[in-house]
Structure 1
Amino acid sequence: MNKSTLALAVAASVLAQQAVAAGFIDDSKASISSRTLYFKNDNRDGANDAHETAQGFKFDYISGFTEGTVGFGVDLQALVGIHLDGGRGRPAGISPNDTDGSAVENWSRFNGNAKARFSKTEAHVGGALAPNLPILVSNDGRVLPQTFQGATIASKEIDNVTINAGQLERATGRASSNASGLSVNGASQESNKFRYAGADWKVTKDLTLQYYHSQLENFYKQNFLGLLHVYPISDNQSFKTDLRYFRSTSDGKNGDTGYAFNNNTSAATDGQVDEAGKVDNNTWSAAFTYSLGGSSFMLGRQQVSNSGGMVFLNQGSVVNGRNRAEGEGGASVYLLTDVMVNSFVRAGENTTFGQYSYDFTKVGVPGLKASLMYLYGEDIRSASGREYSEWERDVRLDYVVQSGLLKGFGTSLRQGTYRSQLPNVQSIDQTRLIFSYTYAFF
């Protein structure tokens, strides 16, 4: 019996004695979400084009807490993915692949968390965790979300401060039914310990400061500092400042066979090549957004140090006897440059980016939003000392029905164009069409 199953069994035993306790039932929520995704990835070099359509269903039951000094509850989640079209010989990463290269007809998983609350502190233990923190962002970019197994604590005992801590042991990819160990893209070994702790301090209603520390055992340690400030100019004008800094260093076996990885960490600095696979990185970004009415104008800059690329949790290259097509891959990182196709996190890369967004509510069309983003990364370092550049342009149009029978039904059309000078890196045109709807039972 794994830890998640044991935790749920213990929780069920406790809750059986308090099944009718006020709060546990009264504060419960249940919903089912549907997402249909058409995904097309055109390689401009003429090879490995991919297209696929899939349907995802997600059922969530979130209980309240039992009465008493310590309240207990459970969160349950059932996920089902259905392949609709495409994918044979041209996998798009939406569905797991069968041995003949075709997409499986369907895949599913069921998991949950046991939880407890004391005062203003909550603990969750199980396999349906989905952190959204600067040092780890659960990926939800396909039909089903990525989830993690482990334990987390969130505390608000101090006014205006939220403290988060946890230990994660395994991850289930967005196109997978099976959990895998934790790793970094390019590595062949796994770790079962990702620890983190940190806090968000709301200094004023307009200013938030953040600090987090994390460690993926035998791979890397990472510190994060963040600042978010919104200056209200008038009722329909504001100026937002978003500053982020990551410092990543080596941990344990990092650099040894299986724990070294080609995540742009073998880069040249002043003519010298750093030890291959060793983590040594500084990444900072600054973004400024001016909002006026329905319009928002963002301009930003990001810099990755020469000594290595930005590092973050990603199980995409872990095999260990399994088929890669089981869908372990797919990861997000807390950077504004983590966009449709690329993340702009290569060694030495300096990225300038800008975005224009418009909310059509201001002209009488609530629920309709559009955005255009452009990113240009240059000074990308290679082991040979040569420098490269890359760019991406993303266009997005979203609409959510505001009333009537289809209230809450969402449509999103996204198109990304990515071009690169880097050898063995493909230039891509990508299109996504997404239909989504969530129905709340109670």
Structure 2
Amino acid sequence: MRVMKWSMIALAVSAAGTSQFAMASSQDDSKGFLEDQSLTAKTRMEYMNRDYKNGASNPSSGTSGYRQDTGVSELLQYKSGFTQGTVGVGLDAFVMGSAKLDGGSGRRGNGLFANDSDGNPEKTQSKGGAAIKFRLSDTVLKYGQQTVASPVFSTDDSRLLPEIATGTSITSTEIKGLELSAGRFTALSKQTGMGRDSIGGVSDGFDNGKGLTAANIFGATYAFTEGFTGTFAASDVDQYFKKQYVNLNYTLPMSDTQSLNFDFNGYRTRGDKRGDLVDMIGDGTTGVDNNVWSLQAAYSVGAHKFTIAHQRSTGDNGYYYGVDGNGTIFLANSIQISDFVGREERSWQARYDINMTSYGVPGLSFMTRYVKGDNIKTNGLGEGKENEWNAESKYVMQSGPAKDLSFRLRFAMYRSNGAYSGYSADNNDTRLIVEYPLSIL
């Protein structure tokens, strides 16, 4: 499940909008391969427990009423600068690994670790990769292993380690306020997968045993004004589906301490071959043809933010993603457990955030939200309904040797009726995430 962030790509383009077309490009400012290099380390510890309620057992093992794992991961990332000249050349590389601190076969299934041949969580995992990159003016071409943040192809980083895609990407900010991107990806490894093609598709893998599937993507984001941006993106995941995505994000300043923000997101998905075999909730309904949209409004005043959102899904089935990355769901009501994207589903959200900096505790924040969904169409099981409540607290160290060390506590309570219990059993989800980013070079 992806927790929607406020239009990451739009923010990036707003920042890029200060550059001038064909004037003082990024490549002109290059200092060199080693001179602009960086090396960072990110240590993450995560505890996750899903406690199943109302008689449900752990769907992954069936031997207990809960899932529980604890692990630690390390992600080292090296990014070179670009060589000087008309065309700059550089290299990005990473090494990552995880180690199990707690968790057994009867409690598996949270997605922190892969399972060995005996069904037990792996004790350790590791992986490395690299990508070569070229820059001409303000256009960057990259080939190799990389993370991706397109609305139609997005690698997920919600567990110990991120998904990694293999392929080619190109990003261009040559024109003021406009960011163009495109890519072709031929492999995708899930967060617990150390191979190139370990993402779960409709059947037994991303290539489904029938030759490698390719995902072709395109995106454009334009900053119309300082507070108004728009994004269009499209993808073609061979033999699965074609998607189109649109986003409009508008911020209206009301004073130095008050503002209104409106965020619209929408997807159109049409299936092809293997995609037509997908059964979203196990009720016998197949296909991936779907339209889904969300509209979110947020009022910020001082340390407080109040948000409401509405989301609707229509089509032959619910919104399907995963084979194109488990982060490919830029919708308001995609939260900790549920995405609220069932067939014909309507959902509403109310959310409250507070930043404690204004109250003398910089780095401390709280959030709570509630989402309710109904009108879910099932195959003869009646109207599906679901609801979820989230609460979250985060603290980031502001200074000292442990500066940027963060502690994040997340809790979710999910419930659905009998008609929709095939999507997810009733459960309470608790997570503690401790993260320490460190800049080495």
TM-score normalized by the length of structure 1: 0.86
1:334-367: CA deviation from partner (whole Å, max 9, x where unpaired): 1122211111111111010111000011111111
Corresponding residue of 1:238? 259
| RMSD of equivalent CA atoms | 2.0
- Given the alignment, which residue of 232, 235, 244 partners 1:223? 244
Corresponding residue of 1:393? 389
Q: Which amino acid aligns with 2:106?
A: G
Checking the alignment, whether the CA contact within 8 Å between 2:295 and 2:332 is kept in structure 1 is no
The 5-angstrom pairing of residues 259-338 of structure 1 reads 260-263=277-280, 276-314=285-323, 331-338=327-334
Checking the alignment, whether the CA contact within 8 Å between 2:202 and 2:274 is kept in structure 1 is no
1:199-228: CA deviation from partner (whole Å, max 9, x where unpaired): 000011100011111111111111111100
CA distance in 2, matches of 1:314, 1:87: 27
- Pair 1:247 & 2:268 matched: yes
Q: Which amino acid aligns with 1:423?
A: S
- Pair 1:194 & 2:215 matched: yes
Corresponding residue of 1:350? 346
CA distance in 2, matches of 1:207, 1:311: 29
Corresponding residue of 1:156? 173
- Pair 1:147 & 2:145 matched: no
- Pair 1:25 & 2:25 matched: no
CA distance in 1, matches of 2:406, 2:421: 39
Distance 1:280 1:89, change over 3 A: same
1:229-278: CA deviation from partner (whole Å, max 9, x where unpaired): 000000010000000111111235543xxxx11125989xxxxxxxx533
Corresponding residue of 1:16? none
CA shift for structure 1 position 162: 0.1
1:116-167: CA deviation from partner (whole Å, max 9, x where unpaired): 000110011101x111121122111111111101110000111100001001
- Pair 1:42 & 2:60 matched: no
Corresponding residue of 1:432? 431
CA distance in 2, matches of 1:148, 1:169: 8
- Pair 1:93 & 2:115 matched: no
Checking the alignment, whether the CA contact within 8 Å between 2:259 and 2:301 is kept in structure 1 is yes
Corresponding residue of 1:12? none
CA shift for structure 1 position 88: 2.6
- Pair 1:132 & 2:149 matched: yes
Determine helix, strand or coil for the equivalent of 1:362: helix
- Given the alignment, which residue of 394, 398, 417 partners 2:413? 417
Q: Which amino acid aligns with 1:431?
A: T
Q: Which amino acid aligns with 1:377?
A: G
Identity across aligned pairs (percent)?
Answer: 28
Q: Which amino acid aligns with 2:421?
A: P
Checking the alignment, whether the CA contact within 8 Å between 1:247 and 1:283 is kept in structure 2 is yes
Checking the alignment, whether the CA contact within 8 Å between 1:265 and 1:308 is kept in structure 2 is no
Q: Structure 2: 5+ residue runs without aligned partners?
A: 1-29, 59-65
Determine helix, strand or coil for the equivalent of 1:23: coil
Distance 1:160 1:331, change over 3 A: closer
Q: Which amino acid aligns with 1:195?
A: N
CA shift for structure 1 position 87: 2.8
CA distance in 1, matches of 2:34, 2:279: 50
- Given the alignment, which residue of 357, 364, 369 partners 1:361? 357
Corresponding residue of 1:108? 126
Checking the alignment, whether the CA contact within 8 Å between 1:302 and 1:352 is kept in structure 2 is yes
TM-score normalized by the length of structure 2: 0.86
CA distance in 1, matches of 2:57, 2:283: 27
Determine helix, strand or coil for the equivalent of 2:225: coil
Distance 1:156 1:300, change over 3 A: same
